[in-house]
Chain A
Amino acid sequence: MYINTTSFKTVYYLNNNYMKNHIELCINGETHHAYGEDAFLPLSDYLRTKLHLVGTKEVCIEGDCGACTTLLGRLKNEKFYYETIDSCISYVYQLNNCHVVTVEGIKNSKLNSVQESMITSHGAQCGYCTPGIVVSLYSFFNSCSKKTCTKSDIQDALTGNLCRCTGYETIVEAGLTLDNNSIEKLSDIYSEDKLLAILGKETKENIEINTNDYVFYQPVTLKEALKLKNENPDTKILAGGTDLHVMCNKRDFSLKKILYVSNLKELKSIEVKDNHITIGAAVTLSEFEQSVSEYYTDLKEFLNLFASPQIKNIGTLVGNIANASPIGDTLPFLLVMDSELELESVNGKRKVNMNNFYKGYKSLAMESNEIITHVNIPLLKKDEILKLYKVSKRKHLDISSFSAAIRMKEKNGIIESFIIAFGGVGPTVQRIYEIESYLTGKRLCEDILNEAAQMIENIIKPISDVRGHKEYRLQLAKNILKKFYFELLESDKKKVLA
């Protein structure tokens, strides 16, 4: 059923006493109201063209360079937590009740010590990446309690910021020489009380913003969201927007009707139960990484390779699932773990095993009125081994050329169960059932894995693209089984030595 927005609007009004038609946010402590088309701008564009805050640069406008990095302050339990985002792929409509801090806003009258350190360490050359670098580095210290930091802390904080001039070493030095105690925190620069007074009101208001071309909905409850989705099945669900906004910026694609779900309370939970973990659809990848990765071997390192802090701070796990890319990095892991999705519509809830969720290239076993609310991931059993692989041209902040997950149970040298999934070798991420059944019950040894590797040639049909030739992908798929085997041997060797 298609309801045009004008008639729909009336219905909506009847059900709600109050509805807001704009986005209210603070930028560097000042209140701004974004109405109409302004709400549909990328934040970087809004900052640069509407406010002439041109310290925030636009380079790639697809989240890959970090020149547009800004801080996003979100309210959690009466306190603002600041994290970096790429303002080129965060749109103003996502930012209701947020406090955005740009490079112009991270200092009082004099330079902060991060800025000073960047100057004395020669961390800036041409200067174009510098505002973004400074914001990311500042963000690290702003939200960390450590007095000093290590090289890898800085590397992890700056994975999302490219610099073509410096070779990064001087930037690392700038970070290493800093004493966190000397750094003025955002809570010193901006009065929390003042911000709370503006942005802290419990949002009971649904937001609907209309322009000639677009409409944006931000409902307060899941129930309302489901209703909206039911009445407007052509509405696109939006979470972090790290997939969708890249398409808006780079391809001939526009989001005409948007249903924003990332602020729905019902979807924000992370629960660890006896035998599984439940992640809500509004949980960001950063939250997921911080709270869940310890439960699965390899997952922490694996997620360290996923995108960048800027992307993970706003992008969601469920977004990665629903985006259904054949190279979605969390998918092989979720498939081998036999994860389950909770889908909900006005008609009720249902559960789908993720192994039955992908029907073809970007085609999902999901109805147009449904929303994914949660994903349940079974916990790894004590006697199981989990290995996750990502191969990409560049190790960090790159899309996989090939990915794999292997979950195995072995006893006395015999493979009791073997579950394997590949990404990047077909139209969807896929389990390789032939290999699984071949290996189950076999002896765990080099020859057997070599034989399995040989079988792969007849099972998968990868394609050639900008991230690699098909021969390369095929070779990787075969080699990964061997790598898995030799890694086990190495770790056994280490165990023996220990």
Chain B
Amino acid sequence: MVTEEKIGNNIPLDGAEGHVTGTSEYVSDISKIENELIVDFFYSTEPHGEIINIDLEEARKISGIVGLYTYKDIEGENKFGPIIKDEVLLAESILEYVGQPIVIIAGESKKAIKLAKKTIKIEIKKLPHILSIEEAIEKNQFIGETRVIERGDIEKEFQKAEYILEGNTRNGGQEHFYLESQAAIAYPQENNTLEIISSTQNPTEVQNVIAEILGIPFNKIVVKTRRMGGAFGGKETQATHPAAMAALVAMKTKRPARIVLSCDDDMITTGKRHEFYNKYKVAFTKEGLITALKVEFFSNGGYSNDLSTSIRERAMFHAENAYFIPNIKTIGKVCKTNLPSNTAFRGFGGPQGMLNIESIIEDIAIFLKIDAFDIRRLNCFGIEKNNTTSYEQEVSNNTLPELMDKLLKTSNYKERHKQIEEYNKNSTLYLKGISFTLVMFGISFTARFMNQASALVNIYTDGSIQVSTGGTEMGQGLNTKISQIVADEFCVEPKTVRMMITSTEKNNNTSPSAASASTDLNGTAAKDACQKIKTRLIEFASNYLVKDNSEHKPSINAIEWTYDGIYDKRISNKKITFKELVKNAYLNRISLGERGFYATPQITLFDWNTGRGKPFLYFTNGAAVSEVRIDRFTGELKVLRTDILMDIGKSINPGIDKGQIIGGFIQGMGWLTTEELKYSEKGELLSHSPTTYKIPNIQDIPEVLNVDWIENGKNVVNIRQSKAVGEPPLMTSISVWTAVKHALSFISNGEIPKLDAPATSEEILKAMSRFPISMKV
């Protein structure tokens, strides 16, 4: 019925005009209410210890200090957690990391709060602490159960293998570095209820946790989220803590209370992407065909679980990435350490899992002296056969071979590979490297119940539309895409669709905007609501359009709904506009509002006893080639060129999707190159601001960056045949890191160079100095 699709159009981001003029409102921009309080907290400076005494005497005397609250002031439950209830809002008797909140401070001014912090005295009996994965392994400190996925018989394969490599890989954590730090405002309202404005990906969890902490029913709390100034997973679970602090203060004082973490405190006290340490053993043939792989993943979970166990599971789901490995065993453990609880970050364990296997393949290539591309091509999932994952989900509609073959050509990989060999023979100052990596990222929350969403669509009598979903906007373009979907359902311009603030009173029990799936889920729910309204409107139109016409009986099948208007195809000269239609429908008492719902079909509950299931609805794929140059004397790295080719199905908004691809790539590149978390021996984060924590700068983008995607209309399982695009591109950045390895292989005399992530200049120089510089001039 549709004549002119709004899907696939490059319309500007919803809210872009506000962004460029500085009028988009974030939590800290909201005008202050007269009696509003500032909320902050006093945190632990010890990584592990027992609280002997908390002295708040002096602090209470400071003028401008309105409240000081410890866990004793919590009337509901201090314990919570998205998977395991092992977190506390405020420390009770044991301190478990530097940065752990102990006292909430509410004050009239920043000055008073600063003073109060200086006077609070906590007596602590120090306890031994653990920071590293190795120590946790040694002391047997783990969170949750060990997970195993196994297929085939690795031991048998290892026995008869042609070649075996054993080793380990390591990646550092990553700070989200959303520019808007964690922030929330709590407004007390009548009858002991609260309205919360929170910068969160997960309004429902904020609502639930606050209610539990306050000991009141969920329905007494409304949480609203207009937008976030970046989140990347960092506001999936950890936006709850600051919001709960503001809520507690608002409830106690009956005054509005706002908390906005400083950039430094945010970095010091909140969780990050997980550091991983992995042991592996791999068997392969002389052609580079991988026959068996054993990987043991150890992630650094921090002091509590948060989402660590799930993140570890996704690392395991992606342990083989895009490659078919017949005999495989992956084991995953989460280490408990005295650090802030690590949390979701774009990719959710996927990047760590993939980095490991891509590193292994690079090593095999160096070992066998074969181009790593050929090894990847050889092992890549097949179309007809060799197309099941280690947990035996079928890789259907596999576009990986197509991506590989196309990008091989467009990137001119083979030719450049040769040129680099030549270059390195003659260059005294620099080494170059090139690498081609793949991404196959499963889409859906791996916790099955989370794959549901609701949407509310309201049409007004002038034809304008409001849409509310449980999805939250953080710059990823969710609202824009939903407005396109809704506009297209009704054949109207996207600008007639207004995306409303996300609110738990409009949409209840929502899932976080995460797992790349928020358009898939909320967009489909919105479509469902539209279709329900449309059904009514079509029925109404079928009567309305023939009402003065005795020739035709009303027929819903005769109704054409187009961008030019709605008409009965038997009387095509009588067209009415959408506006006329809804106006008249209203006058005839037809409901113009609807709630839609969606639950992802096909996926199954994963059975961890057998290590089998279908956790993903489909896979988003990608391939990337990066060429790098390293300075032989300083280890400094420059990314010269990157080519990325993705399969994102049919794009709903190419401009937004391109932005996601590039943004993800650069963010991943930061993780693997310049972003280094440095801690003191006590576990204090030393790199806690952009002065010392270096995310990519505009000067760091590759000199040449080519981004493209293939035409793929086969992904019929998802909304408008699109594919999720939020996380997968991040992992294209692995090509940068493996390219460094490739560069190093030119001086390693056949040895496999040892390189950890991030490949900082220091790490690269260290890797180079393991091999004596032999320069032919």
Whether B179 and A125, one on each chain, are in contact in the complex, defined by CB atoms closer than 8 angstroms, is no
Instruction: Map CB proximity to B onto A180-219 as digits: 1 under 8 Å, 0 otherwise.
Output: 0000000000000000000000000000000000000000
The CA-CA distance from A164 to B21 in the complex, in Å, is 19
- Chain B residues, Cβ within 8 Å of A34: none
Identify which of residues 436-495 in chain A touch chain B, using a CB-to-CB cut-off of 8 Å: 446, 466-469, 472, 475-476, 479-480, 482-483, 486-487, 489-490
Identify which of residues 222-259 in chain B touch chain A, using a CB-to-CB cut-off of 8 Å: 227-232
- Chain A residues, Cβ within 8 Å of B698: 154-155, 158-159, 161, 163, 168, 171-172
- Chain B residues, Cβ within 8 Å of A168: 662, 666, 696, 698, 701
Whether A130 and B20, one on each chain, are in contact in the complex, defined by CB atoms closer than 8 angstroms, is yes
- Chain B residues, Cβ within 8 Å of A467: 692
- Is A56 engaged at the interface, CB distance under 8 Å to the other chain? yes
Most buried by B among A164, A393, A468: A164
- Is B340 engaged at the interface, CB distance under 8 Å to the other chain? no
Whether A166 and B663, one on each chain, are in contact in the complex, defined by CB atoms closer than 8 angstroms, is yes
Whether A122 and B655, one on each chain, are in contact in the complex, defined by CB atoms closer than 8 angstroms, is yes
- Chain A residues, Cβ within 8 Å of B262: 61
- Chain A residues, Cβ within 8 Å of B631: 483
- Chain B residues, Cβ within 8 Å of A115: 17, 20-21
The CA-CA distance from A46 to B665 in the complex, in Å, is 37
Query: B12 is contacted by which of A120, A155, A164 (Cβ under 8 Å)?
Result: A120
Whether A472 and B762, one on each chain, are in contact in the complex, defined by CB atoms closer than 8 angstroms, is yes
Whether A103 and B21, one on each chain, are in contact in the complex, defined by CB atoms closer than 8 angstroms, is yes
**Of B59-67, B128-136, B470-478, B535-543, which binds chain A?**
B470-478
Identify which of residues 44-64 in chain A touch chain B, using a CB-to-CB cut-off of 8 Å: 48, 52-62, 64
Whether A67 and B179, one on each chain, are in contact in the complex, defined by CB atoms closer than 8 angstroms, is yes
Nearest neighbor of A396 in chain B, beta-carbon distance: B699
- Is A102 engaged at the interface, CB distance under 8 Å to the other chain? yes
- Is B697 engaged at the interface, CB distance under 8 Å to the other chain? yes
Whether B179 and A126, one on each chain, are in contact in the complex, defined by CB atoms closer than 8 angstroms, is yes
A44 to chain B: closest CB distance in Å?
12
The CA-CA distance from A52 to B659 in the complex, in Å, is 31
Nearest neighbor of A395 in chain B, beta-carbon distance: B699
- Chain B residues, Cβ within 8 Å of A56: 22
- Chain A residues, Cβ within 8 Å of B477: 125
- Given A162-B690, A165-B663, decide whether A111 and B697 contact each other with a Cβ distance below 8 A: no
The CA-CA distance from A58 to B632 in the complex, in Å, is 39
Query: A167 is contacted by which of B12, B22, B264, B666 (Cβ under 8 Å)?
Result: B666
Overall SS of chain B's interface = loop
- Is B744 engaged at the interface, CB distance under 8 Å to the other chain? no
- Given A55-B21, A486-B429, decide whether A395 and B700 contact each other with a Cβ distance below 8 A: yes
The CA-CA distance from A120 to B19 in the complex, in Å, is 12
- Is A420 engaged at the interface, CB distance under 8 Å to the other chain? no
Whether A128 and B765, one on each chain, are in contact in the complex, defined by CB atoms closer than 8 angstroms, is no
The CA-CA distance from A306 to B24 in the complex, in Å, is 32
- Is B760 engaged at the interface, CB distance under 8 Å to the other chain? yes
- Given A164-B177, A164-B178, A396-B697, decide whether A125 and B29 contact each other with a Cβ distance below 8 A: no
- Given A115-B20, A480-B633, decide whether A60 and B691 contact each other with a Cβ distance below 8 A: yes
B671 to chain A: closest CB distance in Å?
12
Whether B179 and A55, one on each chain, are in contact in the complex, defined by CB atoms closer than 8 angstroms, is no
- Is B506 engaged at the interface, CB distance under 8 Å to the other chain? no
B63 to chain A: closest CB distance in Å?
15
B227 to chain A: closest CB distance in Å?
7
- Is B647 engaged at the interface, CB distance under 8 Å to the other chain? no
Nearest neighbor of A171 in chain B, beta-carbon distance: B698
- Is A170 engaged at the interface, CB distance under 8 Å to the other chain? yes
Instruction: Map CB proximity to B onto A15-34 as digits: 1 under 8 Å, 0 otherwise.
Output: 00000000000000000000
Nearest neighbor of A481 in chain B, beta-carbon distance: B633
- Is A134 engaged at the interface, CB distance under 8 Å to the other chain? yes
Whether B697 and A162, one on each chain, are in contact in the complex, defined by CB atoms closer than 8 angstroms, is yes
Identify which of residues 733-775 in chain B touch chain A, using a CB-to-CB cut-off of 8 Å: 760-762, 765-766, 769, 773, 775
- Is A250 engaged at the interface, CB distance under 8 Å to the other chain? yes
B431 to chain A: closest CB distance in Å?
13
Instruction: Map CB proximity to B onto A122-144 as digits: 1 under 8 Å, 0 otherwise.
Output: 11111111110010000000000
Whether A126 and B633, one on each chain, are in contact in the complex, defined by CB atoms closer than 8 angstroms, is no
- Is B532 engaged at the interface, CB distance under 8 Å to the other chain? no
Most buried by A among B23, B227, B663: B663
Query: B263 is contacted by which of A60, A122, A158 (Cβ under 8 Å)?
Result: A60
- Is A107 engaged at the interface, CB distance under 8 Å to the other chain? yes
The CA-CA distance from A130 to B20 in the complex, in Å, is 6
- Is B351 engaged at the interface, CB distance under 8 Å to the other chain? no
Whether A129 and B20, one on each chain, are in contact in the complex, defined by CB atoms closer than 8 angstroms, is no
A30 to chain B: closest CB distance in Å?
17
- Is A118 engaged at the interface, CB distance under 8 Å to the other chain? yes
- Chain A residues, Cβ within 8 Å of B699: 155, 159, 395-397
- Is A391 engaged at the interface, CB distance under 8 Å to the other chain? yes
Whether B263 and A164, one on each chain, are in contact in the complex, defined by CB atoms closer than 8 angstroms, is no
Whether B659 and A122, one on each chain, are in contact in the complex, defined by CB atoms closer than 8 angstroms, is yes
A248 to chain B: closest CB distance in Å?
13
B289 to chain A: closest CB distance in Å?
35
- Chain A residues, Cβ within 8 Å of B21: 55, 103-104, 107, 111, 115, 131
The CA-CA distance from A127 to B263 in the complex, in Å, is 17
- Given A166-B662, A393-B676, A483-B633, decide whether A130 and B19 contact each other with a Cβ distance below 8 A: yes
The CA-CA distance from A258 to B686 in the complex, in Å, is 30
Nearest neighbor of A115 in chain B, beta-carbon distance: B20
Whether A476 and B689, one on each chain, are in contact in the complex, defined by CB atoms closer than 8 angstroms, is no
The CA-CA distance from A124 to B475 in the complex, in Å, is 8
- List chain B positions with a Cβ less than 8 A from chain A: 10, 12-13, 15-26, 28-29, 31, 176-181, 227-232, 262-264, 428-429, 474-477, 631-634, 636, 638, 655-656, 658-659, 662-667, 674, 676, 678, 686-687, 689-692, 694-701, 705, 707, 760-762, 765-766, 769, 773, 775, 777
Additional pairs, 12, CB under 8 Å, beyond known A165-B230, A167-B662: A60-B690, A111-B21, A119-B17, A129-B179, A166-B659, A167-B664, A168-B696, A168-B701, A393-B674, A395-B638, A396-B699, A472-B765
Interface pairs (16), CB distance under 8 Å: A48-B29, A67-B179, A125-B13, A125-B476, A129-B179, A131-B20, A134-B22, A164-B177, A168-B698, A169-B707, A391-B636, A393-B760, A466-B687, A472-B762, A482-B633, A487-B429
- Top-10 shortest CB links A-B: A55-B22, A126-B475, A128-B229, A127-B19, A125-B475, A167-B666, A483-B633, A103-B22, A167-B662, A128-B179
